[in-house]
């Protein structure tokens, strides 16, 4: 029940706008340090978090790891852990030593320190953010050297903090349209549909402020009491810290999806290329921790979390998903080959390439589809030959247009009538559910507004679906999902 309430509040937040494309955008500086048990956030304490720790000499403790007395070994291990990440090189040297017992104990300590490593990295990023928000020029002496840091995200966060202190405008990193298109051309040649979405940058998300706006009405059958709100907040922060502790910060710039032209219950595949920035080693460790099976495809590590899906943490700027109903039909090897060569086979698909040229690929959301025989089976898509999708951002709103072209205007008109009926039915059902359960209103109202904005029209051999969505591109993706659902 608590999870339902948490998901409801998240939906309210996302449909109301806000939030960026980095994990750390989804917690405030104050909330983060509270979760870390830090009660005083000032220039001195944050500068201390960014100070370079000198490695202590742990030779005595390392020697005691080989003691025959358990208490001595345990005390040595506790002392080593207390020295922090700076002692890792000394531990790693011992882990490669000839004494197997001592090496095993050293490796165990390395693993335990590794679990702290990501939060230590996040601490540094949040310390930079805090210094920027404090606005004290005394912090510049600490921040300016970090502008050249090669550690993931550090130069970016230092730049943002310095800009805030100096009263200058800061522009968050953005992937160019050309870079995003390079992901499109990595897709296999036999895709029949391509969709690309860009996530917004720089937005900050205050879960507590959103939660405070939730009216005191039943949330999925549970009264939204102060105690429930506190529990929801605790659940959110707990989940956030667990993710940050495993992965560190993560940025998602764009997601590119390709669907095989022969998709079906026993055929085809889906490929999703996520572009951004993350720590591949941390992602791999997290996948192993969740019992995903490591599978080597050539010399490339892939992970199978269960079901017919493989995850490929290919590089710090790309993470790839390949899924399908039959493992042997999934083009995993071909995708890996394309990633290594930085070029796939999609350009040889003349129909898809021609459709791509008809849409604005610099938009935050766009897509194309060449309607195949598999796509036509039992869906309104049977009336069409091609489908394109475009979007235009207007402040907090995004206008989305889906255009489907066929060759028989009567079949097009029938398909449009069917989709209009599906939208009307879905809208009535949503309004009925909201009337029956008052607590659904905060979640349902934004969705109902999207549904009410949908216009479906037929003009000769062309159908057009238009809608408006508010918030980030997570919400904008809801429309094509609904549109595809109506067509299939």
The per-residue pLDDT for range 218-256, each reduced to its tens digit, is 454 456 677 777 888 888 898 889 889 889 999 999 999
40 CB burial (10 A radius; 0-12, 13-18, 19+): exposed
* Spans of the chain, pLDDT less than 70: 1-18, 53, 98, 115, 213-224, 438-443, 471-488
* pLDDT in the model for residue 215: 59
Name the pTM for this structure: 0.84
* pLDDT in the model for residue 18: 61
Between the CA of residue 189 and those of 328, 349, 361, what are the distances in Å?
Answer: 17, 6, 19
What are phi and psi for residue 368, nearest 5 degrees?
-140, 155
Locate 393 and state its tokens: 């951002």
CB neighbours of residue 379 within 10 Å: 17
- Element housing 434 (H / E): helix 409-436
* pLDDT in the model for residue 6: 43
C-alpha angle 13/403/377, rounded to 5°? 95
Q: Which residues contact residue 316 at a Cβ distance below 8 angstroms, ignoring those fewer than 6 apart?
A: 152, 277, 278, 279, 280
**Checking DSSP bridges between strand 309-315 and strand 455-459, what pairing results, if any?**
unpaired
Strand, helix or coil for residue 311:
strand
256 CB burial (10 A radius; 0-12, 13-18, 19+): buried
Q: State how far the Cα of 68 lies from the Cα of 66, in Å rounded to an integer.
A: 7
* pLDDT in the model for residue 79: 87
């Amino acid at each position: 029940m608590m999870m339902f309430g948490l998901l409801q509040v998240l939906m309210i937040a996302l449909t109301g706008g806000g939030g960026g494309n980095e994990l750390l955008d989804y917690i405030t500086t104050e909330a983060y340090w509270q979760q870390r048990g830090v009660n005083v956030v000032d220039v001195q304490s944050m500068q201390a978090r960014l100070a370079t720790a000198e490695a202590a000499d742990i030779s005595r403790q390392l020697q005691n790891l080989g003691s025959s007395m358990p208490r001595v070994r345990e005390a040595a291990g506790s002392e080593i852990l207390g020295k922090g990440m700076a002692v890792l090189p000394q531990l790693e040297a011992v882990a490669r030593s000839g004494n197997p017992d001592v090496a095993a104990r050293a490796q165990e300590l390395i693993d335990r320190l590794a679990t702290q490593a990501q939060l230590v990295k996040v601490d540094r990023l949040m310390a930079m953010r805090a210094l920027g928000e404090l606005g004290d020029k005394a912090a510049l002496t600490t921040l300016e050297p970090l502008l050249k840091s090669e550690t993931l995200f550090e130069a970016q966060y230092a730049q943002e903090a310095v800009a805030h202190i100096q009263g200058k405008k800061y522009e968050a990193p953005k992937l160019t349209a050309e870079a995003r298109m390079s992901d499109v051309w990595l897709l296999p040649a036999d895709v029949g549909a391509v969709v690309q979405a860009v996530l917004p940058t720089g937005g900050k998300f205050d879960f507590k402020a959103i939660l405070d706006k939730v009216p005191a009405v039943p949330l999925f059958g549970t009264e939204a009491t102060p105690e429930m709100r506190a529990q929801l907040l605790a659940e959110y922060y707990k989940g956030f810290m667990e993710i940050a502790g495993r992965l560190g910060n993560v940025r998602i710039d764009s997601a590119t999806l390709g669907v095989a032209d022969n998709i079906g219950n026993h055929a085809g595949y889906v490929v999703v290329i996520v572009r951004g920035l993350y720590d591949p080693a941390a992602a791999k460790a997290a996948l192993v921790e969740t019992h995903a099976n490591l599978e080597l495809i050539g010399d490339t590590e892939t992970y199978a979390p269960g079901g017919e899906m493989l995850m490929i943490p290919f590089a710090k700027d790309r993470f790839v998903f390949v899924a399908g109903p039959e493992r042997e039909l999934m083009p995993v090897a071909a995708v890996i080959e394309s990633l290594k060569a930085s070029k796939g086979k999609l350009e040889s698909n003349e129909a898809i390439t021609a459709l791509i040229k008809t849409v604005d690929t610099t938009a935050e959301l766009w897509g194309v589809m060449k309607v195949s025989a598999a796509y036509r089976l039992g869906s309104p898509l049977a009336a069409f030959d091609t489908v394109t999708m475009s979007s235009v951002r207007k402040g907090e709103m995004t206008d989305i247009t889906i255009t489907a072209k066929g060759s028989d205007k009567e079949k097009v008109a029938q398909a449009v009538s069917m989709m209009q009926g599906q939208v009307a039915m879905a809208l009535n059902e949503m309004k009925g559910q909201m009337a029956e359960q008052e607590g659904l209103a905060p979640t349902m109202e934004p969705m109902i507004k999207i549904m009410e904005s949908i216009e479906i029209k037929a003009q000769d051999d062309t159908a057009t679906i238009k809608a408006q969505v508010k918030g980030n591109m997570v919400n904008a993706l809801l429309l094509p999902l609904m549109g595809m659902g109506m067509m299939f």
